[in-house]
C-alpha cells in the first residue's frame, strides 16, 4: 500500500528544492541579523576593545619577531588582528548554536526541524547561514581596523573569504556539538568560562607560539592541539595571501568531525533532545 | 489542488505508542487514528501527554515503542514524505516578530522547498483563507495575538498539508477570537478535506459531532464520537463524561498516578 503511494509521490524533494531550502534559511538569518542591531554592534565592539585598548597597552610589552606570514616586523595590533577575527567567529558560532539549542522548545526551532528535508541538510544550512553572518561581522571589523593601520594587501581581503567560511563552519559546528552534549553549559556565562576563554587564550591569537614554548612546553602543546589556533593561523596566512596547509588540514578535519557529531546529536533516535528534557504537557 | 491520497488511509495513525522520560511514563500504549477530513479533538489536562505525543509526531523525539504513520508513511522510517504532508501549529510562537508576515511565510515555504513564485501564490491563498490578505506587509510584532494565531495557521497550511496538528491553539485568546479560529479550522476539515487533530484541555471546544480522544496520564481513556462517549459514560455532557472517566482511572490505578 505504501509502495503504491510512493510511486506517484508528488512530495519527493528535488535537488533544486534543497537549494530553495538553503537559500530560505540563509536569507532569514540575514534578515534577523539586520533587525538585531544590538547583536551586530556588540559583535563589533568586542574585538575593537581588544584592538584599541588591549593591543595598545601590550604593544610595548610584547615584541613580535619576524615570523611567517609576516615579512617585516609588525605592530602588536597587526599581529592580533587575525586572532580577533577568529574570536568574532568563535563568539558568533557559540551564540547562534546556543540560541538554537536553547530555543528548541520554542516554535522557531521546531518549525525548522519539522521541515521534510533531512536534518543534516537543515543543520548544515543553518551553520552556513550563521557563518555568512560572521563573515559580514568580520569585514565590518576589518573596515574599522583599516583606519587603525591594520592594512593587509588588498587581495588578502579576497583570499580571506574561503578561510573565513571554513573557520566559521568549524566554530559553528563546534558550538552546536558542545551545547548539545554538555548539559552543564546551560548559559552563555558557562560557555564563556569553559569554552571561549580557554580556546582563545590557549591559542596563537594573542601571542606567537614560540613565545609560549619558551615559558611552558605543556601549554605550547595545548595550543598546538587547539583547533582555534589553526583557525587563527588559517586566517592569518590567508590575510597575507598565503596558505598554511597544516592549519587548513586541521580546520577541515575538525569541521568534518564536529559537523558529523552535531548531526548525530540532533538525530532524534540517538540525540540528546529526548534525553535531556521533559516537556510539561 | 491537493495531491491525491487513497481515501482509506488514515491521515494520522498512532499505533501502540509508548514513551517514557527516565522512570516517568509519559505515554502508555496510545493508539488512535485521525481520518481524512475529520476533526478530532485530543482532550487532556496539562501533563496528560499531549505535548509528548506532538513531539513524537513532529519527530522532535524518536519513537521508541510503537509506530506513527502520516498517510501511511512511518514518521521514523520515512520522515520526508511523512512530514511534507503535515502542517503544525505549535503552542509556542513560531513566527519571527521582527520581520513581516510575508517574510515569515516565505521562509516557511523555503523550508518545504517551494520556489518563491509558487510560494507567493500559495501565500495569497492561505492569507485570504484566514482573512489576513491585507496584512502581508505588516510586521508580525504589530499584530494582535488572535491575528498572530491566524497567521500561524496560514503558515501551517502554506505547503498544502493533508493533516493539520494544533497544540492548544486558543491559549491566550479572547472568547471571540477563540470561536473564530475554532470555526475556521472546522471549516478547513469539512471543505478542504484536511484531517485535523486539535489538542486542548478546554472541554467546551469539542462539539457533539466531533471525534474525541480522551488522554489522561499518558493513556487513552476514550476514543470515539463525542455523543457516543457521553452516552456510554451516562453523564449529561462531555464535561461530566470526562470527569467520570478520569476519576475512575485515578481510582483504579492510584499507584500509576505517582
Interval A148-176 mean pLDDT:
93
What residues in B contact A9, CB-CB < 8 Å?
Answer: 81
CB atoms within 10 A of CB B72: 22
Helix-helix angle B101-111:A15-35, to 10 degrees: 150
Question: Which one, of B253, B238, B184, lies nearest residue B25 by Cα?
Answer: B253
| Span A27-51, average pLDDT | 86
CA distance A64 to B181: 68
The closest of B33, B127, B74, B92 to A281, measured between CA atoms, is B92
Alpha helices in chain B (DSSP H): 50-57, 79-84, 101-111, 116-129, 145-157, 175-191, 226-233, 238-252
State residue A182's pLDDT score: 64
Q: Which residues contact B216 (CB under 8 A, 6 or more apart)?
A: B44, B45, B48, B245, B246, B249
Say yes or no to pLDDT of B123 above 60. yes
Question: Strand pairing of B39-43 and B195-200?
Answer: parallel
Which of B72, B80, B107 lies closest to A1 in CB terms? B72
Q: How far is A24 from chain B (nearest CA, A)?
A: 5
Residue A201: pLDDT above 70?
Answer: yes
Share of chain A above pLDDT 90, in %: 47
CATH number for the domain running over B12-85+165-257 = 3.40.50.300
Average pLDDT over all residues of chain A: 84
Mutate to test the interface with A, among B50, B53, B59, B60 (most CBs of A within 10 A): B60
Q: What is the ipTM of this complex?
A: 0.84
Instruction: Answer yes or no: are the C-beta atoms of A127 and A176 closer than 8 Å.
Output: yes
pTM for this model (two decimals): 0.85
Q: What is the dihedral of CA B214, B219, B222, B225, to 10 degrees?
A: 50
- Residue A210, SS3 per DSSP: helix
CB A134 within 8 A of CB A164: yes
Contact B38, B219 (CB under 8 A): no
B149: preceding bond cis by omega (within 30 degrees): no
A60 touches chain B (CB under 8 A): no
User: Can you give the pLDDT at residue A177?
Assistant: 85
Least confident of A170-174, A191-195, B114-118: A191-195
Contacts of residue B14, Cβ cutoff 8 Å, sequence gap at least 6? B30, B31, B32, B33, B53, B57, B66, B68
pLDDT mean over A7-31: 82
Which pLDDT band, with edges at 50, 70 and 90, does A207 fall under?
Answer: confident
What's the CA gap between B84 and B112, in Å, rounded?
Answer: 7
Confidence of residue A18 (pLDDT cuts 50, 70, 90): very high
Q: Are A98 and A73 in contact (CB under 8 A)?
A: no
At B59, list the grid cell: 519527530
Contact (Cβ atoms closer than 8 angstroms) between residue B197 and residue B34? yes
For testing the chain B interface, which of A7, A31, A114, A272 should be mutated: the one with the most B CBs within 10 Å?
A114
Nearest-neighbour CA in chain B from A31: distance (Å): 8
User: Distance (Å, rounded) from C-alpha B180 to C-alpha A189?
Assistant: 45
Of A28, A116, A269, the CB nearest to B107: A28
How many contiguous H segments (helices) and E segments (strands) does chain A have?
15, 0
Q: Where in chain B is the domain with CATH 3.40.50.300?
A: 12-85+165-257
Least confident of A210-214, A260-264, A277-281, B129-133: A277-281
At B27 the three-state DSSP class reads strand
- Asked if pLDDT for residue B173 goes beyond 90, the answer is no
CB contact under 8 A, A116 and B96: no
Determine, for residues B59 and A105 on separate chains, whether the beta-carbon distance falls below 8 Å.
no
End-to-end CA distance of chain B: 49
B150-170 residue pLDDT tens: 899 999 999 999 999 999 988
B window 78-107, beta carbon within 8 A of A = 79-86, 88, 90-96, 98-99, 103, 106-107
How confident is the model over B25-37, as a mean pLDDT? 93
Cβ count within 10 A of residue A169: 25
Q: pLDDT at position A101, please? A: 63
Task: Say how many C-beta atoms besides its own lie within 10 A of residue A215's C-beta.
Answer: 9
Contact (CB<8Å) A269/B88? no
- Given a contact cutoff of 8 angstroms between Cβ atoms, the answer to whether A268 and B37 are in contact is no
Please list the helix, strand and coil fractions of chain A in percent, rounded to the nearest 5, in that order: 75, 0, 25
Percent of chain B at pLDDT above 90? 52
Asked whether residue B171 carries a pLDDT value surpassing 60, the answer given is: yes
B178, HSE (Cβ side, Cα atoms, 13 Å): 12
Give the closest residue to B110 by CA, choosing from A33, A29, A93, A176: A29
> Edge-to-edge strand order for the sheet containing B39-43?
B86-89, B163-167, B195-200, B39-43, B211-216, B219-225
What mean pLDDT is predicted for residues B18-39?
A: 91
Residue A8 has pLDDT above 50, yes or no: no
Residue with the larger pLDDT of the pair B4 and A98: A98
Give B102→chain A minimum CA distance, Å.
12
pLDDT tens-digit readout, A65-87: 778 888 888 888 899 999 999 99
Does the CB of A184 have a partner CB in chain B at under 8 Å?
A: no
Q: What is the pLDDT of residue B1?
A: 45
Considering only alpha carbons, which residue of chain A is nearest residue B74?
A: A2
Å between A251 CA and nearest CA of chain B:
29
Q: What percent of chain A has pLDDT over 70?
A: 84
pLDDT of residue A34: 83
**A245 torsion bin: left (phi>0), alpha (psi -120 to 50), beta (else):** alpha
Rg of chain A over CA atoms, in angstroms?
21
**CA distance linking residue A281 with residue A189, whole number of Å:** 30
Query: pLDDT tier at A60 (50, 70, 90 boundaries)?
Result: confident
Reading the block at residue B125, the C-alpha cell is 491563498
What confidence tens digit (pLDDT) does each residue in A221-242 have?
Answer: 999 999 999 999 999 999 999 9
| Amino acid B192: pLDDT | 85
Residue of B nearest to A17 (CA): B113
pLDDT in tens, A89-112: 999 988 887 777 666 556 677 788
List B24's β-bridge partners, or say none.
B21
Contact A7/B at CB under 8 A: no
Higher-scoring residue by pLDDT: A59, B35: B35
What count of residues does chain B have? 258
Say how far apart CA B46 and CA B86 lie, in whole Å. 24
Question: Among all residues of chain A, which has the CA nearest to that of B76?
Answer: A269
Q: Give the pLDDT score at A75.
A: 84
Amino acid at each position: 500500500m505504501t509502495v503504491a503511494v510512493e510511486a506517484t509521490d508528488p512530495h519527493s524533494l528535488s535537488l533544486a528544492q534543497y537549494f530553495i531550502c538553503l537559500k530560505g534559511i540563509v536569507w532569514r538569518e540575514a534578515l534577523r541579523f539586520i533587525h538585531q542591531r544590538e547583536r551586530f554592534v556588540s559583535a563589533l565592539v568586542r574585538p575593537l576593545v581588544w584592538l584599541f585598548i588591549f593591543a595598545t597597552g601590550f604593544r610595548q610589552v610584547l615584541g613580535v619577531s619576524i615570523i611567517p606570514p609576516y615579512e617585516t616586523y609588525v605592530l602588536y595590533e597587526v599581529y592580533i588582528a587575525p586572532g580577533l577575527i577568529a574570536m568574532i567567529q568563535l563568539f558568533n558560532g557559540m551564540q547562534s548554536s546556543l540560541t538554537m539549542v536553547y530555543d528548541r522548545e520554542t516554535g522557531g526551532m521546531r518549525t525548522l526541524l519539522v521541515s521534510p528535508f533531512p536534518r543534516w541538510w537543515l543543520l548544515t544550512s543553518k551553520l552556513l547561514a550563521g557563518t555568512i553572518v560572521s563573515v559580514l561581522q568580520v569585514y565590518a571589523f576589518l573596515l574599522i581596523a583599516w583606519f587603525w593601520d591594520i592594512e593587509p594587501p588588498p587581495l588578502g581581503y579576497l583570499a580571506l573569504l574561503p578561510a573565513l567560511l571554513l573557520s566559521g563552519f568549524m566554530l559553528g559546528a563546534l558550538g552546536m556539538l558542545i551545547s548539545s552534549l554538555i548539559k552543564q553549559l546551560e548559559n552563555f556565562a558557562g560557555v564563556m568560562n569553559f569554552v571561549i576563554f580557554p580556546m582563545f587564550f590557549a591559542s596563537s591569537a594573542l601571542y606567537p607560539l614560540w613565545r609560549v614554548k619558551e615559558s611552558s612546553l605543556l601549554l605550547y602543546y595545548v595550543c598546538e592541539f587547539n583547533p582555534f589556533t589553526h583557525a587563527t593561523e588559517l586566517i592569518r596566512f590567508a590575510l597575507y595571501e598565503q596558505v598554511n596547509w597544516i592549519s587548513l588540514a586541521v580546520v577541515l578535519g575538525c569541521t568534518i568531525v564536529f559537523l558529523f557529531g552535531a548531526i548525530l546529536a540532533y538525530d532524534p533516535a540517538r540525540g540528546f533532545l529526548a534525553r535531556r528534557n521533559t516537556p510539561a504537557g | 489542488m491537493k495531491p491525491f491520497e487513497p481515501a482509506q488511509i488514515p491521515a494520522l495513525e498512532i499505533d501502540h505508542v509508548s514513551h517514557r522520560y527516565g522512570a516517568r511514563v509519559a505515554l502508555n500504549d496510545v493508539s488512535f487514528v485521525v481520518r481524512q477530513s475529520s476533526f478530532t479533538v485530543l482532550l487532556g489536562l496539562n501533563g496528560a501527554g499531549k505535548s509528548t505525543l506532538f513531539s513524537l509526531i513532529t519527530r522532535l523525539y524518536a519513537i521508541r515503542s510503537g509506530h506513527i504513520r502520516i498517510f501511511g508513511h512511518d514518521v521514523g522510517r520515512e520522515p520526508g514524505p511523512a512530514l511534507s504532508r503535515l502542517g503544525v501549529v505549535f503552542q509556542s510562537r513560531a513566527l519571527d516578530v521582527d520581520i513581516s508576515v510575508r517574510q515569515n511565510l516565505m521562509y516557511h515555504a523555503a523550508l518545504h522547498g517551494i520556489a518563491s513564485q509558487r510560494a507567493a501564490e500559495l501565500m495569497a491563498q492561505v492569507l485570504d483563507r484566514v482573512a489576513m490578505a491585507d496584512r502581508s506587509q505588516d510586521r508580525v510584532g504589530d499584530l494582535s495575538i488572535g491575528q498572530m494565531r491566524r497567521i500561524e495557521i496560514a503558515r501551517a497550511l502554506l505547503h498544502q498539508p493533508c493533516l493539520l496538528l494544533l497544540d492548544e491553539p486558543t491559549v491566550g485568546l479572547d472568547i471571540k477570537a477563540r470561536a473564530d479560529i475554532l470555526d475556521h479550522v472546522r471549516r478547513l476539515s469539512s471543505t478542504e478535506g484536511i484531517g485535523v487533530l486539535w489538542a486542548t484541555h478546554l472541554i467546551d471546544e469539542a462539539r457533539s459531532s466531533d471525534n474525541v480522544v480522551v488522554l489522561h496520564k499518558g493513556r487513552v481513556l476514550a476514543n470515539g464520537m463525542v455523543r457516543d462517549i457521553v452516552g456510554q459514560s451516562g453523564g449529561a455532557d462531555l464535561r461530566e463524561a470526562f470527569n467520570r472517566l478520569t476519576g475512575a482511572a485515578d481510582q483504579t490505578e492510584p499507584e500509576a498516578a505517582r
